[in-house]
Amino acid sequence: MSELPSFERPPVKEVVIAARFKRADRYSILTLGKIAKRMEAAGFSKIEEQPSYEAPVEEFGSTNEQSRMSLQLLPGPVPIRYWFSSDAGDELLQLQSNWFAVNWKKTAPSAEYKRWRHCWDDFQHWLTVVSAAISAGELDFDQVEVTYINHIDPDGVWTHHGEATRVFTALALTQGEFLGVPEQYSLNSQYLIRADADEGTASGRLHVSINPGFRRPEGTPIFVMNLTARGGPTGPGIEGIQGFAEVAHEWIVRGFTDLTCDAMHDVWQRIR
């Protein structure tokens, strides 16, 4: 496999790496307090309570291969999701009784994307800390999720949302004789992730959404492009999480490159 495409100035706004697991034996308020102290010492001093997150489950081999929302009746109260925000506001740790995630956010126009390896290393570090605190043994992971959120500015290539065909290859539509140019486009699509492109059992899905938006407070038009790869770990433990996460990252990068036009690649300074 050739090297992944790379850009000097990618339009990445946020990266999320997450893993779901069966509830651990040591998960409690007391354990959460110990975790919170360690996170606060590392610069995550702001703590918030949020509604729980129930990740969609990717199912395969049914009558139609569609991702379905998982609806589970869990005993006891609805789990609370805790947010631990960094003092700089550019990193977020999320924890609930069956799910953990690390977010990196671009909080200033001049901020530099920290790249995948840095994001993964942060996730692995904190997942190791959390795992050791809430479980006497190895956590039982059953799903991995990687999301890239991109904010695509005009940058001299396009001027309004009706010109999405100048940005995205998947919207290669021509101007209608009667309809003319649309006011805006949006797109939702999904792709099966397979170990072999031609055959083999699907191990996950890549979900892509493209929607018009505006940058605040300027009101400049942008496109918001979300790519989420979700599937099962390749094996037990953190190694299994990394196994699928690396595949997810590859599909997101190659998918992003396939779905965007050369003119935007020039703006983002593609180097391979």
What is the per-residue pLDDT across 28-58, written as a single tens digit (0 to 9) for each?
Answer: 999 999 999 999 999 999 999 999 998 888 8
Residue 3 lies in a domain: no
The answer to whether position 6 is within a domain reads: no
Phi, psi of 264 (to 5 degrees): -75, -35
pLDDT tens digits, one per residue of 118-168: 999 999 999 999 999 999 888 999 999 999 999 999 999 999 998 999 999
CA-nearest of 113, 119, 64 to 246 is: 119
Classified as helix, coil or strand, 179 is coil
Q: How many domains does the chain have?
A: 1
Q: For position 78, what pLDDT does the model report? A: 64
Mean pLDDT (the chain, rounded)? 89
Q: Is the pLDDT of residue 236 over 80?
A: yes
Asked if residue 26 belongs to a domain, the reply is: yes
Cis ω for the linkage preceding 217 (within 30 of 0): yes
Predicted TM-score (pTM) of the model is 0.90
Q: Using CA atoms, how far apart are residues 225 and 209, in angstroms rounded to an integer? A: 6
**Long-range Cβ contacts of 46-49 (<8 Å, 24+ apart):** 46/83, 46/84, 46/85, 46/87, 47/82, 47/83, 47/84, 47/85, 48/82, 48/83, 48/85, 49/80, 49/81, 49/82, 49/83
Residue 172 lies in a domain: yes
Q: Which of 8-12, 28-32, 110-114, 241-245 has the lowest mean pLDDT?
A: 110-114
259 belongs to a structural domain = yes
Residue range 103-120: mean pLDDT, rounded: 88
How does residue 178 score in pLDDT terms, banded at 50, 70 and 90? confident
Does some domain include residue 1? no
pLDDT on residue 198: 54
- Domain assignment of residue 4, yes or no: no
Domain with 164 in it: 12-267
